[in-house]
Chains A and B, each alone.
Chain A
Amino acid sequence: GAGVSQSPSNKVTEKGKDVELRCDPISGHTALYWYRQRLGQGLEFLIYFQGNSAPDKSGLPSDRFSAERTGESVSTLTIQRTQQEDSAVYLCASSVRDSGNTIYFGEGSWLTVV
């Protein structure tokens, strides 16, 4: 597709369940980012991929959060044993390379933990 695609667009899950969020970046974009946006707040950086490697995982809030990227393309963000405070929009973004290039965002995956 032409833009960054994320799925599911909306997910309601029960506390304690695991969830997987998927991101399809723009074709050819080597850099991929995950951010979290809680209601009414700014964007928190979670993790950055360059190719399939993640040189910066500093924003992952706990060991319940993990992410991987394969084929220098699709990325999956996994949240284990979800908690109510995990409720947020999870935004994926990609860019051609790092540093100064425009970062394009997907529309996000809205996660609600009940």
Chain B
Amino acid sequence: AQSVTQLGSHVSVSEGALVLLRCNYSSSVPPYLFWYVQYPNQGLQLLLKYTSAATLVKGINGFEAEFKKSETSFHLTKPSAHMSDAAEYFCAVSDTLGNQGGKLIFGQGTELSVKP
């Protein structure tokens, strides 16, 4: 079975500060990993995904995430927060073997607030 744990339901940073959103996964098979962002009253938008190529993945809006197998982590970072980054962020895992149809298992989400 697969699962995702996002540490911290709410993270607050100052504008210009480093953003670090934590995600740990559990998977019995090599995983695919994803970060999605959800702005208020909108659907989910893919930020980036890891599919067993490079372990450091760069996404949109200056975000990146590093896959660390030894730590079963896929933390999301951005060097300098912008006010427009305020949103809900979801980490998700799917299996690589197609046994579960590629469905995503989501974490509970982390709400990012950016203070001026």
A25 touches B (CB below 8 Å): no
Please tell me if the beta carbons of B44 and A91 are within 8 angstroms of each other in the complex.
yes
B46 touches A (CB below 8 Å): yes
Please tell me if the beta carbons of A31 and B101 are within 8 angstroms of each other in the complex.
yes
Contacts of A102 in B (CB 8 A): 46, 49
Interface residues in B36-69 by Cβ distance below 8 A to A read 36, 42-46, 49, 51
Contacts of B43 in A (CB 8 A): 4, 91, 105-108
For A, the interface residue count at a CB cutoff of 8 angstroms equals: 27
A41 touches B (CB below 8 Å): yes
Residue of A nearest to B31 (CB): A100
Q: How far is the CA of A35 from the CA of B43 in the complex (A)?
A: 12
Please tell me if the beta carbons of A101 and B103 are within 8 angstroms of each other in the complex.
no
Please tell me if the beta carbons of B44 and A99 are within 8 angstroms of each other in the complex.
no
Please tell me if the beta carbons of B90 and A56 are within 8 angstroms of each other in the complex.
no
B7 touches A (CB below 8 Å): no
For B, the interface residue count at a CB cutoff of 8 angstroms equals: 26
Please tell me if the beta carbons of B96 and A100 are within 8 angstroms of each other in the complex.
yes
A41-B108 contact in complex given A100-B32, A102-B49, A105-B43, C-beta closer than 8 Å: yes
Interface residues in B101-116 by Cβ distance below 8 A to A read 101-109
Among the interface residues A41, A100, A106, A108, which one has the most CB atoms of the partner chain B within 10 A? A100
A42-B102 contact in complex given A91-B43, A91-B44, A100-B51, C-beta closer than 8 Å: no
Please tell me if the beta carbons of A56 and B108 are within 8 angstroms of each other in the complex.
no
Q: How far is the CA of A106 from the CA of B106 in the complex (A)?
A: 16
Among the interface residues A42, A97, A101, A108, which one has the most CB atoms of the partner chain B within 10 A? A42
Offer 10 A-B interface pairs, CB within 8 angstroms, sorted by A: A42-B107, A45-B106, A48-B100, A48-B101, A98-B102, A99-B32, A99-B98, A100-B51, A105-B43, A108-B43
Known: A42-B90, A93-B44, A102-B46. 19 other contacts (CB 8 A): A4-B43, A31-B102, A41-B109, A42-B107, A43-B90, A48-B102, A56-B100, A56-B101, A91-B44, A98-B101, A99-B98, A100-B96, A102-B49, A103-B34, A104-B46, A105-B36, A105-B43, A105-B45, A106-B43
